[in-house]
Structure 1
Amino acid sequence: MTQPGSDQAENTKSTISSDIKSGDKVSKREVRESEPTQPEISLTGSEREAVVEHGSLSSLTVYSIILREGQEELERPLMSLWWSGIAAGIGISSSVLAEGIIRSNIGSDHPYLSIIESLGYTFGFVLVILARLQLFTENTITVVLPLLANTTQRRLFCTARLWGIVLVANFVGTFLTAAIVVHGNILTEDILTAILQISRHVAELTPSETLMRGIPAGFFIAALVWMLPSAKGSEVLVIIMFTWLIAAGEFTHVIAGSNEIFSLVLNGEMNFFTALSHHIGPMLMGNIIGGTGLFAMLAYGQVRQEM
């Protein structure tokens, strides 16, 4: 017959064994860091410090930075997430606005329209990411890493809560912005026409095309979040590079794309059900697959054995 405390004892032994193994891994890394390489033997103390300062962050360090950020996000109050999410939805809509302004000025028949116009797409992402606003697609990796590291019922609930609140808040922000753009009479006719042209181009995609093009976009945004801790003063350039790639490659981003689709709904060119089922829904699934299903899992996999 199994003793009542046997299971607890086994769990304690397993925890102690895990802690010992983790301590051994840390000790080995500390030894490697403290031992100078052959060229470093000839360097002065200040020169060795310069080598350390200019070294890149390890994958485990980047993982730890994002993990800590994710843990903080999971504990934020509901209203903080809500208002930050709405602000992000409004902010990301400036991407579509900037694209419309560029298109209206250079003309829709310009031979390099797509490449030039895509620079406007980067504006909203620079605003949202540097302002530290809650953008759903960033959270496909940020709050998922804590969940993968410690999968508990409470953490699963907190992750689902954050995803739901931020996603709805982002949509509220993009819908409000689309309403102001379409019915607010704040833009010139040329800019509004350009925005609707851009939106119609996105709406031409079938649901399957929208989903598949959402996967690279989700992957790139998650990769962008992973790269930012190592950017060291080049954050704006990194954001511009990869969000430009999303636009130039005609990949689909659910939050920026929702602003385009909502513009058509509010202009009377599409019903709300079609907007959700044929466009926004597939974008969402594609972004989750690319951000969480691919990048977050791969990022966790590369450091799992080092912890």
Structure 2
Amino acid sequence: MAEAEERRAISPTVVHETIRKEGEEELSRSTSALGWSGLAAGLSMGFSLVAEGLLRQHLPDVSWRPLISKFGYSVGFLIVVLGRQQLFTENTLTPILPLLHNWSLGKLGQVARLWITVLLTNLLGALLFAWVVGNTEAFDAATRASFAEIGRAAAEPPFWTILVRGVFAGWLIALMVWLLPAAETARVSIIVILTFLVGLGEFSHIIAGSVEVLYLVTTGALSFGKYLVDYMVPTLLGNILGGVTLVAALNHAQVVAGDRKGRQAG
């Protein structure tokens, strides 16, 4: 019996409660602590562009190149998640569960404070990183050309395509957060697999993708207004829809339904 209990998968209720408690802790953090952590995350996400660009530049231009180069996309997420830095798309799940568990205007205000602080500092970090790699000699011309190609691929699709791709990205990143409490020794594998899928599918991520597109802005290849209206807005909306609606709300609903059924049975 003891061995069977050890092998038993962690229940959705336990996962839900683990993330909810983590969300409560995040909501109680000061604005300055959230801001510094968010800035660090925005800077760290720049290494997704760097790693992918370096791999792309050193691989031959053949059909299978993205299957290797897109593993670089996971690097920034590994740094952010394992380093416990604040990333906006993780927060479409973590603080939302406390809000769904105990709905109130006060709790909603806490979530809004966290979202605004983390989003703005993430984007500031992304902008700073993009400016440095685009306006210094840190990387050679061939690597910077790879960065520009990655940025153009992110920015070129039309508004609605970016929005739908943003839904998938928000969905997958929130699912990653949902899976991590039960992952134990598989945390790195889960982060790499799901973020590799985001990169390979060219799903639009508000921070990783902003580094890519802001690289074009800081090098004069794209206007800031174009980035704001054509990339940031649809990506942000899509990420929120994917994370909040498809993961936070649905997984909260299944746990609540299970609790009600258990109480009725009791």
Q: TM-score, normalised by structure 2?
A: 0.96
1:61 aligned partner = 14
1:256 aligned partner = 208
Residue 306 of structure 1: how far off its partner (Å) = 3.4
Tell me, yes or no, if structure 1 residue 290 matches structure 2 residue 242: yes
1:17-56 C-alpha deviation (Å, 9 max, x unpaired): xxxxxxxxxxxxxxxxxxxxxxxxxxxxxxx222222211
Q: For 1:225, which of 139, 156, 177 is the aligned residue? A: 177
Q: For 2:41, which of 68, 88, 91 is the aligned residue? A: 88
2:73 aligned partner = 121
Give me the whole-angstrom Cα distance separating, in 2, the residues matched to 1:185 and 1:172. 21
1:98 aligned partner = 51
1:86-106 C-alpha deviation (Å, 9 max, x unpaired): 000011111111010001101
Q: CA RMSD in A?
A: 0.9
1:192 aligned partner = 144
Residue 220 of structure 1: how far off its partner (Å) = 0.5
Q: For 1:281, which of 212, 233, 250 is the aligned residue? A: 233
1:112 aligned partner = 64
Residue 159 of structure 1: how far off its partner (Å) = 0.1
Residue 305 of structure 1: how far off its partner (Å) = 2.6
1:183 aligned partner = 135
2:262 aligned partner = none
2:25 aligned partner = 72
Residue 111 of structure 1: how far off its partner (Å) = 2.1
Q: Which amino acid aligns with 1:267?
A: T
Tell me, yes or no, if structure 1 residue 241 matches structure 2 residue 193: yes
Q: Which blocks of at least 5 consecutive residues in structure 2 are unaligned?
A: 260-266
Give me the whole-angstrom Cα distance separating, in 2, the residues matched to 1:266 and 1:96. 14
Deviates more, 1:268-277 or 1:57-66: 268-277
1:171 aligned partner = 123
2:162 aligned partner = 210
1:131 aligned partner = 83
Give me the whole-angstrom Cα distance separating, in 2, the residues matched to 1:258 and 1:202. 9
SS in 2 for 1:306: helix
2:103 aligned partner = 151
Q: Which has the larger radius of gyration?
A: 1
Give me the whole-angstrom Cα distance separating, in 2, the residues matched to 1:103 and 1:306. 47
1:18 aligned partner = none
Number of aligned pairs? Answer: 259
1:112-168 C-alpha deviation (Å, 9 max, x unpaired): 111111110011111100101000000000000000010111100000000000000
Give me the whole-angstrom Cα distance separating, in 1, the residues matched to 2:135 and 2:126. 14
1:23 aligned partner = none
Give me the whole-angstrom Cα distance separating, in 1, the residues matched to 2:257 and 2:156. 45
Q: Which blocks of at least 5 consecutive residues in structure 1 are unaligned?
A: 1-47
Q: Which amino acid aligns with 1:79?
A: S
1:28 aligned partner = none
2:256 aligned partner = 304
